[in-house]
């Protein structure tokens, strides 16, 4: 018995990275998955690897009609929608505040915030009719703490977290749970770009030193969090922003604190004279 036997999921941004890993995990746990993405070739490949449990649909999450069509496809084809995972994203506009154009602002907000809003909006009616469902959105630890990501990425991820809480309050009495996942540094193309294996290893080594748990995240780590929130294991959890970051949001690893405070090696305890 899989944790998602008989369930139907729509995952946006599922052609690679965390979305693809989640699609594979959901299907292995018994779910039928509509893989959606703008990259048709990679999206089709992910769906084909899911076998009869997978289908692909090209979706631009900034277009409301695309999200509506994806929900309609699973409603008409599979008769239900149990999980809506609003995962699609990109780095968005970069640079100092005075350099960001209106066009780049609009595109960033359209993908990272409006795309999540549209997913919630169009999942809600079918889930209300069913009397159950789980809406999950990919936020970020950047939405909890500034200084690690571009301005608009940080702002939109904070908005996703707050939108999650607000919509959870509305939909809870209809049996619909609404939660967000806040990844830290995860070794995906969004984080490190198109790298060869040697440079990916260097990326993991470099950023792994900054995590209390001693490694960067992998796409499968986020997929496992999404599985928990999608499954009946989390039926009393809603309105949360689940941090999945190896402890980075909690603070610096102990060895880095020691180096910063002493300027050299491990901290030596201070003992007052005569003790």
Residue 269 is assigned to a structural domain of this protein? no
Which of the two residues, 178 and 272, has the higher pLDDT score? 178
- CB neighbour class for 47 (10 Å; exposed up to 12, middle 13-18, buried from 19): buried
Residue 107 is assigned to a structural domain of this protein? yes
How far is Cα 72 from Cα 32, in angstroms, rounded to an integer? 15
Residue 247 is assigned to a structural domain of this protein? yes
Per-residue confidence (pLDDT) for residue 268, from 0 to 100: 46
Question: pLDDT for 126-183, tens place per residue?
Answer: 999 999 999 999 999 999 999 878 999 999 999 999 999 999 999 999 999 999 999 9
Residue 205 is assigned to a structural domain of this protein? yes
Task: Write out the catalytic residue numbers.
Answer: 153
The values of phi and psi at residue 142, to 5°, are -65, -20
β-strand partners of 177: 134
Residue 3 is assigned to a structural domain of this protein? no
Predicted confidence (pLDDT) at residue 56 exceeds the cutoff of 90: yes
Residue 30 is assigned to a structural domain of this protein? yes
Residue 242 is assigned to a structural domain of this protein? yes
Q: How many helices (H) and strands (E) does the chain have?
A: 10, 7
Per-residue confidence (pLDDT) for residue 226, from 0 to 100: 98
> What's the CATH code of the domain at 59?
3.40.50.720
Please check whether residue 117 is in contact with residue 162, taking contact to mean a CB–CB distance below 8 angstroms.
no
Domain of residue 61: give its range.
8-262
Q: Using only C-alpha atoms, what is the Rg of the chain?
A: 20
Residue 139 per-residue DSSP state:
-
Residue 174 is assigned to a structural domain of this protein? yes
Predicted confidence (pLDDT) at residue 271 exceeds the cutoff of 50: no
Domain count, the chain: 1
Which of the two residues, 105 and 263, has the higher pLDDT score? 105
């Amino acid at each position: 018995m899989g944790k998602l036997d008989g369930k139907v999921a729509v995952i946006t941004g599922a052609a690679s990275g965390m979305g693809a890993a989640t699609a594979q995990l959901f299907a292995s746990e018994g779910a039928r998955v509509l893989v959606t993405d703008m990259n048709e070739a990679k999206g089709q490949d992910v769906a084909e690897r899911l076998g009869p449990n997978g289908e692909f649909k090209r979706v631009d999450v900034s277009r409301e009609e695309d999200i509506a069509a994806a929900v309609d496809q699973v409603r008409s084809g599979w008769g239900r929608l149990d999980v809506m995972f609003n995962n699609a994203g990109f780095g968005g506009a970069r640079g100092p505040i005075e350099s960001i154009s209106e066009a780049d602002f609009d595109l960033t907000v359209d993908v990272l915030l409006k795309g999540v809003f549209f997913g919630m909006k169009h999942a809600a009616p079918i889930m209300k009719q069913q009397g159950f469902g789980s809406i999950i959105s990919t936020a970020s630890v950047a939405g909890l703490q500034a200084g690690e990501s571009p301005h608009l990425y940080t702002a939109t991820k904070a908005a996703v977290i707050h939108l999650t809480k607000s919509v959870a309050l509305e939909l809870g009495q209809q049996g619909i749970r609404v939660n967000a996942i806040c990844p830290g540094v995860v070794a995906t193309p969004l984080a490190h770009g198109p790298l060869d294996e040697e440079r990916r290893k260097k990326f993991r080594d470099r950023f792994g030193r900054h995590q209390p748990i001693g490694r960067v995240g992998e796409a499968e780590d986020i997929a496992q969090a999404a599985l928990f929130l999608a499954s009946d294991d989390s039926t009393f959890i809603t309105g949360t922003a689940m941090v999945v970051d190896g402890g980075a949001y909690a603070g610096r690893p102990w060895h880095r604190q020691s180096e910063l405070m002493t300027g050299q090696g491990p901290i030596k305890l201070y003992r007052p004279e005569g003790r």
